Amino acid sequence: MAMQSDGRMMRYARQRVFAPIGGAGQERLAAARVAVVGCGALGTHLADMLARAGVGHLILIDRDVVEWSNLQRQMLFDEADADAGTPKASAAANRLRMVNADITIEPRVLDLDAEAARELVGEVDLVLDGSDAFETRYLINDACVEAGIPWIYSAVVGAEGMTLNCHAPLVDGTRTPCLRCVWPDPLPPGSAATCDTVGVLNGAVSMVTGMAATEALKILLGSAAISPELRSFDQWAGTYEAIALPRDPDCPTCARGEYDWLDGAALGDAARLCGQDTIQIRPERLAGTRLPAIDLAAVAGRWRDAGTVQQGGDAFVRLRVAPFDLTLFSDGRALIRGTSDPATARSLYARYVGM
């Protein structure tokens, strides 16, 4: 590293005098490698805090581009990024290099798959979840548990948020639960609200990512204060809850070593229909299982403020958000017209249906 001016040497002064970190802890953070999967609201806040804290190497992964609707809560982007449709990972990396030129920031514009996930966990000490899709979170969970490294799950919608340290080492030699200890299977598509259907407060994003970023520092420093609890809040109502969750002794992933999302036992695909500018999405599920039928009327109700909605009885519900049409069927399958890119189709599905 090049010789720093006196001013630059003061960058971490307020952090070094915090006793649980100190000078030795700051050096440990400088040697750490962290991946942030997803550079949306959660990911940009997390990456910004860790870059400012001096985590030495950040890998930023995202498949999407910046849109104007992102600017209300995705803090590393500006109007020029939205006008240009800059890839989020690249735009975030460019901004963070202006925040801290003394660390390495590596953008990767890709849709995380099993091969990329296995490669990623071999390069880092910790993974932070900033994604908007449960299929991605189960993939992260498989890859991290298989590699023996911790990751942090975070989620936010409306004014509510939650975070959980997954497979993180505790001082007694045990680990916190993994994602499948808590949710053995993904939530059914369309069963939960998304930010695009009910909105999201930027203050709620800041709150949950502040909690998660602090836990990330604890994990990287080997602190005895790592939280084993699922912590959730409703910022609008002013409520907070911390639930102690033991590991499941029969968890498919961290107990039995079954990596369904890495090894292909989880089924789901995005395929282009022949001769059409349309992608068909099938949601993730385990082989041999069936997803419950979606309540299409409830989905239609959540979509009312998102675009033009057409209901087809019990058969389908359609959302028009120019230039796309999303037709959702009761089995969770969707046709997304207006794109030939599977990554774009998956992103739209996650935003409006949830996955």
Are the C-beta atoms of 266 and 190 separated by less than 8 Å? no
- The structure tokens 């390495």 sit at 104
Evaluated on CA atoms 324, 264, 150, 96, the torsion sign reads negative
Tokens of 278: 């349309």
Given 39, 144, 195, 254, the catalytic residue: 195
Q: Is 251 a catalytic residue?
A: no
Written as one letter, the residue type at 226 is I
How far is it, in rounded angstroms, from Cα 272 to Cα 183? 31
Helix spans in the chain (H): 6-9, 13-16, 22-30, 41-53, 79-84, 88-99, 114-121, 134-147, 179-182, 195-198, 202-221, 260-263, 296-303, 342-352
Phi, psi of 151 (to 5 degrees): -145, 165
| Active-site annotation, residues | 195
